Amino acid sequence: MVYYKAIEGKFVHLRAVQLEDAEFILKIRNDKEISKYLPPLDITIEQQKSWISKQRNDSDSYYFIFTNNKGESLGTISVYNIDNEHAEVGRFCSFGDSVQNMEAALLCDDFIFYTLGLSYLEIWVYKENKPIISLNQGFGCKWYGENVGDSGELFLFGKMTKEDYEKKTLKIRKNISIVKAY
């Protein structure tokens, strides 16, 4: 689906992915450092545009680009497999710094819990993706198990409730509020 409003933060802004973002998405997905934590992707810009078109009509997902205050694209984040109570969050890829990444995740999770009104999130992360594991734990995610993917990679499975998220993010929100805008 498409969420037509911009989701505004102090350092980043989330907006719905558009067809024009296909080149940026391929660039970030094929970045050597970022792609080591993602399933392999070998597609053309036209195939990416086709996937974006399909996603924009998908009734159980939202896909966002996040930008800095200058409007420059920094990364992607997505909510998918949405039902009445929960969703999965992921497709997080970023060229941003730690503050921008934290705020992008915070804005997305706020959207899930407060705009969509869901109760909890499910999160699958490559076990080697320590930065995202740490970020999610800082937001209140609890890890419950592991699974092996199709290519043999190890995934962690976690769950984050709205209650845990609200408790854990109070300090994060305060810290973001005192960082000077740049």
Each domain of the chain, given as residue ranges in start order, spans 7-178
Q: Which CATH architecture has domain 7-178?
A: 3-Layer(aba) Sandwich (3.40)
Distance CA 110, CA 117 (A): 9
pTM to 2 decimal places:
0.91
From 75, 1, 81, 69, select the one nearest 34 (Cα to Cα). Answer: 75
Measure Cα distances from 46 to 43, 52, 74, 94, 156 in Å: 8, 10, 21, 22, 32
Return the pLDDT at 33: 86
Q: What is the pLDDT of residue 133?
A: 94
> pLDDT by residue for the chain (182 residues), tens digit each?
889 899 999 999 999 999 999 999 999 998 888 888 777 778 899 999 999 999 999 999 999 999 999 999 999 999 999 999 999 998 999 999 999 999 999 999 999 999 999 999 999 999 999 999 999 999 999 999 999 988 788 899 999 999 999 999 999 999 999 988 77
Contact 77, 66 (CB under 8 A): yes
